[in-house]
Structure 1
Amino acid sequence: MSARIGVVTFPGSLDDRDAARAVRLAGGEPVALWHADDDLGGVDAVVLPGGFSYGDYLRCGAIARFSPVMTEVVDAARGGMPVLGICNGFQILCEAHLLPGALIRNDHQRFVCRDQQLRVVNDATAWTTDLTAGQVITIPLKNGEGGFVADEETLDRLEGEGQVVFRYEGLNPNGSLRDIAGVTNERGNVVGLMPHPEHAVEPGFGPDRAGAPRSGTDGLGLFTSAVRSLVSA
Structure 2
Amino acid sequence: MTTRVGVITFPGSLDDRDAQRAIEIAGGEPVALWHGSHDLDGVDALVLPGGFSYGDYLRAGAIAALAPIMAEVKDAAAQGMPILGICNGFQMLVEAHLLPGGLIRNAHQQFIRRDQKLRVENADTAWTSGFDLGQEIVIPLKNADGGYIASDDELDRLEGEGLVAFRYLGVNPNGSLRDIAGITNERGNVVGLMPHPEHAVEPGFGPNTAEAMRSGVDGLPFFTSAIAAVVAAAA
Measure, in 2, the Cα distance between the counterparts of 1:108 and 1:226: 34
Q: Which residue in the other structure is 2:91 paired with?
A: 91
Alpha-carbon distance, 1:211 to partner: 3.3
- Secondary structure of 1:60's aligned partner: coil
Q: Which residue in the other structure is 1:24 paired with?
A: 24
Alpha-carbon distance, 1:209 to partner: 1.1
Measure, in 1, the Cα distance between the counterparts of 2:62 and 2:215: 36
- Secondary structure of 1:204's aligned partner: coil
Measure, in 1, the Cα distance between the counterparts of 2:151 and 2:171: 22
Measure, in 2, the Cα distance between the counterparts of 1:62 and 1:228: 31
Measure, in 1, the Cα distance between the counterparts of 2:7 and 2:39: 13
Q: Which residue in the other structure is 2:116 paired with?
A: 116
Which string of whole-angstrom CA distances, capped at 9 and with x for unpartnered residues, describes residues 201-221 of structure 1?
001210011038x93100000
Q: Which residue in the other structure is 1:66 paired with?
A: 66
Q: Which residue in the other structure is 1:160 paired with?
A: 160
Measure, in 2, the Cα distance between the counterparts of 1:101 and 1:220: 27
Q: Which residue in the other structure is 1:126 paired with?
A: 126
- Secondary structure of 1:68's aligned partner: coil
Which string of whole-angstrom CA distances, capped at 9 and with x for unpartnered residues, describes residues 73-131 of structure 1?
01110111110000000000000000000000000000000000000000000000001
Q: List gaps (5 residues or longer) in structure 1.
A: none
Structure 1 residue runs of 4 or more that deviate by more than 4 Å after TM superposition? none
Which string of whole-angstrom CA distances, capped at 9 and with x for unpartnered residues, describes residues 15-52 of structure 1?
00000000000000000000001110110010000000
Q: Which residue in the other structure is 1:227 paired with?
A: 227
The one-letter code sitting in structure 1 at the alignment partner of 2:107 is: D
Measure, in 1, the Cα distance between the counterparts of 2:71 and 2:135: 35
Measure, in 2, the Cα distance between the counterparts of 1:113 and 1:198: 15
Q: What is the TM-score when the length of structure 2 is the normalising length?
A: 0.97
Q: How many residues align?
A: 232
Over the aligned positions, Cα root-mean-square deviation in angstroms equals 1.0
- Secondary structure of 2:195's aligned partner: coil
Measure, in 1, the Cα distance between the counterparts of 2:100 and 2:74: 14
- Secondary structure of 2:69's aligned partner: helix
The answer to whether structure 1 residue 104 and structure 2 residue 104 are counterparts is yes
Measure, in 1, the Cα distance between the counterparts of 2:80 and 2:229: 13
Q: Which residue in the other structure is 1:34 paired with?
A: 34
Which string of whole-angstrom CA distances, capped at 9 and with x for unpartnered residues, describes residues 121-165 of structure 1?
000000000011111110000000000000000000000000000
Measure, in 1, the Cα distance between the counterparts of 2:53 and 2:78: 23
Measure, in 1, the Cα distance between the counterparts of 2:75 and 2:55: 25
Measure, in 1, the Cα distance between the counterparts of 2:79 and 2:70: 14
- Secondary structure of 2:142's aligned partner: strand
Measure, in 2, the Cα distance between the counterparts of 1:125 and 1:73: 18
The answer to whether structure 1 residue 216 and structure 2 residue 216 are counterparts is yes
Measure, in 1, the Cα distance between the counterparts of 2:35 and 2:45: 16
Q: Which residue in the other structure is 1:75 paired with?
A: 75
Measure, in 2, the Cα distance between the counterparts of 1:78 and 1:71: 11
Alpha-carbon distance, 1:2 to partner: 0.6
Q: Which residue in the other structure is 1:136 paired with?
A: 136
Measure, in 2, the Cα distance between the counterparts of 1:184 and 1:228: 18
The answer to whether structure 1 residue 2 and structure 2 residue 30 are counterparts is no
The one-letter code sitting in structure 1 at the alignment partner of 2:106 is: N
Q: Identity across aligned pairs (percent)?
A: 72
Alpha-carbon distance, 1:232 to partner: 2.6
Q: Which residue in the other structure is 2:174 paired with?
A: 174
The one-letter code sitting in structure 2 at the alignment partner of 1:229 is: A
Measure, in 2, the Cα distance between the counterparts of 1:109 and 1:166: 23
